[in-house]
Amino acid sequence: MDPSRRSVLGVALLPVVLTLPDRPDAVGRMEAAQLGARTRIGLSDVHTVSAMTEQLSSMDDQFGGRVARPLAAAFLVNTVVPFLRTSGSDDVRRAMMSAAADLCYLTGYMAVDEGLHGLAQRYYLQALELAGASEDHLTFCTTLRGMSVQAVDLGQGPVAMRLADAAAAASPQAGPRMRAFLAGQQAHAAAQTGDRRSALMYLQEAEFAMDKAEARGKTFGSYDPASLSYHTSQVRFEMGDVHGAVVAMQESDRLRYSVYRRTRVKERAILAERQLSTGHLEAACKTWGFALDDYPLVNSGRIDKRMTDMFNLIRPHIRNHDAQALYERARETVRPELIPA
């Protein structure tokens, strides 16, 4: 690719663009859109946006939001917005808005991973607007659920519950896997509000729906048994069953696909914290060690916070051989600014 074309696309986006199946045509369409040379969009442009979103999502799973989100934001501003401003048939324009909504949702999710919660909210609201305009019920309810996940992780249980219920209401015809995806989040939010009865009811609903979904054939890349075990762990933890939460999180870790590296590091750090709280110091150190194995490959604000928490939690046990070894290894592995003074 010659330097002039490289400058139009942006060097950072090139590795993503190179993964597209119809790369030469896609590059030409993207460049034309950025330069304002396109007068009409077609379904091929929609497919380009969807394919790029899929690739960016994979990067986020493996390398974290700090790596993927700037690329997604650049693609959104430089290519997708010009596409949205270009004329096309009603069906094509509706499909483009739907694809843009999906990208906005993903970019918001990445911003949450960075710890940029205000920015994430703006992306989420834009995703809702585009999904509503394109009558994309799937992205609309997925975005509401993403907002619920953000709220529950911030300890805002009542807000998380309202958003999880709104997501479920927005998808009344959901299939079993989607129903499990929504009910699992409702269970977590209900547990955080102290509504034990509803939490267990939604968790049971998610389990039944997941059984039906798995019986129809496993689907890679969507809500799966590892995700359900994670929600089971969160519900048990919120209800005070820390031992049960540890068992469920261990099952989630065992079932998780290897490509979800960022999630693996984050949830192993959570598992270690809970193992420590039950008095299993050596087991916690071992689990934190597994998290450190992948840590250098991931750039995530959520994981960085977990690493700082790890130092603070281990320090009182520093005379223990395993704790001391973990502490010293972590000092050599994590970013220096994360190490407490």
Please name the residue that has the structure tokens 């690329």: 71
What does the alpha-carbon distance between residue 327 and residue 81 come to, in Å, rounded to a whole number?
Answer: 47
Distance between CA atoms of residues 138 and 124, nearest Å? 14
Percentage helix, strand, coil for the chain under 3-state DSSP, each rounded to 5 = 80, 0, 20
Residue-wise pLDDT tens digits, 204-213 = 999 999 999 8
Q: Which two tokens stand for residue 148?
A: 């619920």
Average pLDDT for 126-140: 94
33: pLDDT strictly greater than 70: no
Tokens of 308: 């700082």
For residue 88, the model assigns a pLDDT of 93
Tally Cβ neighbours within 10 Å of residue 325. Answer: 12
Looking at residue 171, what is its pLDDT?
Answer: 80
Nearest to 110 by CA among 98, 100, 119: 119
pLDDT tens figures, 107-124: 999 999 999 999 999 999
Q: How sure is the predictor about 32, in pLDDT bands with cuts at 50, 70 and 90?
A: low
Please report how the helices 281-294 and 261-277 are oriented relative to each other, as an axis angle in degrees rounded to 10: 160
* Length of the chain (residues): 341
Find out whether 177 and 209 touch, Cβ atoms under 8 Å. Answer: yes
CA-based R_g, the chain, Å: 21
Q: Is the pLDDT of residue 189 over 90?
A: yes
Can you tell me the distance from the alpha carbon of 239 to that of 290, in angstroms, rounded to the nearest whole number?
27
Q: Mind listing the pLDDT tens digit for each residue in 40-53? A: 899 999 999 999 99
Among 19-28, 61-70, 156-165, 177-186, where is mean pLDDT lowest? 19-28
Question: How does DSSP classify residue 156?
Answer: -
Q: What is the mean pLDDT of the chain?
A: 89
For residue 255, give both structure tokens: 């079932």
Percent residues over pLDDT 70 in the chain: 87
- At residue 37, the pLDDT reads 54
Evaluate if residue 194 carries a pLDDT over 50. Answer: yes
The rounded distance, in Å, linking the Cα atoms of 193 and 168 is 18
Residues 9/30, Cβ–Cβ less than 8 Å:
yes
- CA 36 to chain CA centroid, Å, is 33
Half-sphere exposure of 206 (CA within 13 A, CB side): 27
pLDDT of residue 4: 37
pLDDT at position 71 over 60:
yes
Q: CA-CA distance, 182 to 166, in Å (whole number)?
A: 10
Reduced to 3 states, what is the DSSP secondary structure of residue 13? helix
Over residues 61-76, the mean pLDDT reads 95
pLDDT for residue 219 is more than 60: no
What's the pLDDT tens digit per position in 228-259?
999 999 999 999 999 999 999 999 999 999 99
